[in-house]
Structure formats: structure tokens, C-alpha cells
Structure 1
């Protein structure tokens, strides 16, 4: 009995010092075998996930090719609608916050927005902004911002240098007007475009690529849709007001009738 007590005390002391597994010694083999089986199952799951990702990318590449003629046709039709892109941008609740008044004037000459994904879409894409060649702000007809992965897997941005016309570089003008103007300019649409560093401003790229490009019409039409919803609400309120007025009239008539009877 005393030997068993000493043995138990020794095992407890070793467990406290970390020399024994928290699992009982006789179960160590079963414990290790279970962990290895779990790891083997997880490896098979990970392999299937990688295979699924590759097949999904292949499908996306195929459908990108199928979409191209439709995008081209859409661009031709959009060109017939005045101020389509600036209206679309200003109707987006987040993007509109990055476009101060002076940049709104510049974006009125934006004729087309294009998103071109690389043949291997994992490696990046281009955002292409096509402007009226006679726009008063810069000489470029197209401004291109490219996002791509380098060979080492690091992201990189490449931007078209803007060839500003004399006195039209509003980014430089704002930077010279004090800290408040400079802060607003640093978070603006064109500041994002000219910035080649990955930062929080890249949210603008995500909005253009993932929200506006797939269906710009939904944002172009947004105020009209909201207006129609407002009109419907107004109709309901008008009907309620009419019902209240009718109830008041009936109540007055009933009151007069009771008064005459008395």
C-alpha cells in the first residue's frame, strides 16, 4: 500500500513538471494514432479544396471570355448616355465620399470604365479609365492602374503617370492649401489612382471591380428607384390621411345629428 502511494505521488509530481503526457501513459499510442488519422483526413480535405479552387478558376476564366462581347456591347450603349459613369460613381454610397467637387468635374469626361483580368486571373487585373480626349484636365485618353503579383508572391501596383495640363493638377493645388485640404485630397479618388502603395485606399479598387463593374446600371438608377419607393410611401400616407379626414367628417356629422335631436 505504501509503495502504491509513493508511485502515485511520483506520477503526480512528474505530470506537474511536464514529464508525463496529460493522457494516461497506457493510452499514448491510441492518442497519437488518432491525431495522425485526423491529420491524414485533413490533408485529403485540403487537397480537394485546392482542386476545387483550380476548377473554379478555370470556370471563371471560361466565363470571362464569354462575357467580353457583352461588355463591349454594353460599353457602346453606355457611351450614348450622358454623364453615365460620374452619375454611377456618385450614387455609390462609399465611392461618392472619395470624389470632391473638383474631381466630379473631371470625372464628367469619363467615357468608359473597363476591368481586364489577366489570363491567369490569380496574378491580377487592370482598371482602365477612358476619358474624352478633349478633357480640360490632362492629356491622357486612358488612365490604367494595374494590380499584379510578383514572382515572390508580393502584390504590386503600376499606374499610368497623369500628364496634367498647365494649372489643372488639383492634387498638387490641394496639397499646397493646408493640412485640412491635403488630408481630404489624400483620401480622394485620384489620390487612390496615383498611389502605387497598397493601402486602405485600395477599397476603391475593390468597389470598382466587384460592385460597379458587374452591374453599373443598378447604381446609375439608384435615385430613381429610391424616388419611386418614396412615391409609394407617399401614396400610402395620402390614403391614410384621406381615411382620417373621412372619419373626422363622419364624426362631425354624427355629432350635429345628436345635437339637433336634443
Structure 2
């Protein structure tokens, strides 16, 4: 090997080591930023709590608030078959509680009308947490179904469309203690619906208002045409014989 090739290899290796050193410093700063961001999030979670509590009290007075918000979400609605829609009409409140160390997990709390005809529970909780080993784990409240009301009993033929919908349903997600693809429902509840459920509750009305606005514009254009009067044939660009 020529001396020039040896020198080039040494320069190449030195450059890689310098890049690696820079990257280590960047990674260290990224870790520091993550810790500080988490600290800020914890502080603001504390500030948000009284507002969440007040919101929950008001929402409990609005009939069918949560099932309406759920069914207006384009993805979540696909996981709520008709029989589960009836059950979720009795859902009075959804709450998300993050652990004090938010890196370790959170709880999804579902509060139902105590007189609901489906189960004896008035509160169902699904908890997501990290084990000491770093592996995710979920713990769920066992549902105490009333006689003949277990909507998870499904005798459809395996592989059928109805069976597939059942296996990917809201209550199938809730009762599943494995960390599975159904946990997309948890992500939707925590990250999309919980921060601002009103936007989903109001969604059809908002869309309707947008449609009405478009109609108003069309009406105004029609009115402008009418106010302009008839077009003088003499002004027409078309020749008539």
C-alpha cells in the first residue's frame, strides 16, 4: 500500500471519529432537552387538572356527549359496532390520568351511569405502565356483566366480517391486557379526543355550518346578478342575425 493511501485512510478514520464525537454531544443535549420537556409537561399537567375537573362536571350534564364525540372520530367510530354504541351511550365521562413520572405510563378511566343495563361497574380503568424491565404492560378492570348483557359474547363464524369487527372493537380493546395493535384506540383517546373532545362532539355541526357558508356565498352571487338587472342585448358579444 502506498504512503498516500495510508495517509488518506488515516484522515478518513479521523474524520469519522470527529463526527462520532460531535454526534455524542448532540445526543447528550437531546437527552437533556427531553428531560426538561418532560419536567415542563408535568408542571402544566398540574395546572390543567382543575380545568379538566370542571370540564368533566359540565360534560356529565350533556346527554350522549362521549358516544357522539367517539362516533364523529373517523378512525375510532370504525371500532364501535352498533351493540357497543348502545352500551357507550351510558358513558358519562372519560378521564386520562398520567403517572407522576409520566414516562412510566397513564390510566384511561371510563365512568358510566351506575344504572346502566350492561354491567355492574360504574368505573372501568385501563392502565398502561412500564415494567422495571422496560416492557410495556396493561392492567384492566374486569367487567361484571349483567345476565345476558355481555356484548363480547360473539358466536359468529371465525373469519367472518362480523367476527373480524368484533375482534377489533372498542370493548375488545378494553378487555385485552396484551400490548397489541388495538392500542391504537388508547392513542386516539389520549392524544386526540381527550385534549379537546368538544371539537369532535361539534364536528357535524361545524361541517354543516361550513356548507351553509358556501350556500350563503352562492345566494349572494345570485342576488348580485339579480340586482344587476337584465343584460342589454346591445351589449352582448354575440351577433344575432
Determine if the TM-score, normalized by the shorter chain, exceeds 0.5.
yes
Higher helix share: 1
1:161-176 alignment runs, 5 A limit: 161-172=142-153, 175-176=154-155
Compute the displacement of 1:246 (Å).
6.8
Deviations 1:83-129 (A, max 9, x none): 11111111111111111111111111101100010111111111000
Please show how residues 1-262 of structure 1 align to structure 2 within 5 Å. 24-172=5-153, 175-178=154-157, 179-243=160-224, 250-251=230-231, 254=233
User: Structure 1 CA distance, aligned partners of 2:12 and 2:75?
Assistant: 53
- Give the count of matched residue pairs: 231
Which consecutive residues of structure 1, in runs of 5 or more, have no partner in the other structure? 1-10, 12-19, 256-262
Choose 237-246 or 101-110, whichever is displaced more. Answer: 237-246
Q: What is the SS of the residue equivalent to 1:250?
A: coil
Q: Which has the larger radius of gyration?
A: 1
* Secondary structure of 2:86's aligned partner: helix
Q: Secondary structure at the match of 2:134?
A: coil
CA distance in 2, matches of 1:193, 1:237: 47
Instruction: Please state how far the C-alpha of 1:245 moved relative to its aligned partner.
Output: 6.1
Once residues 118 and 235 of structure 1 are traced to their aligned partners in structure 2, the CA distance between those partners, rounded to angstroms, is 49
**Secondary structure of the equivalent of 1:163?**
coil
Q: Structure 2: any 5+ residue segments left out of the alignment? A: 235-241
TM-score for the superposition, normalised by structure 1:
0.83
CA distance in 1, matches of 2:36, 2:224: 61
Higher relative contact order, chain-length normalized (CA < 8 Å, sep 6+)? 2
The TM-score normalised by the length of structure 2 is: 0.89
Structure 1 Cα separation of the partners of residues 13 and 220 of structure 2: 74
Cα RMSD, aligned residues only:
1.9
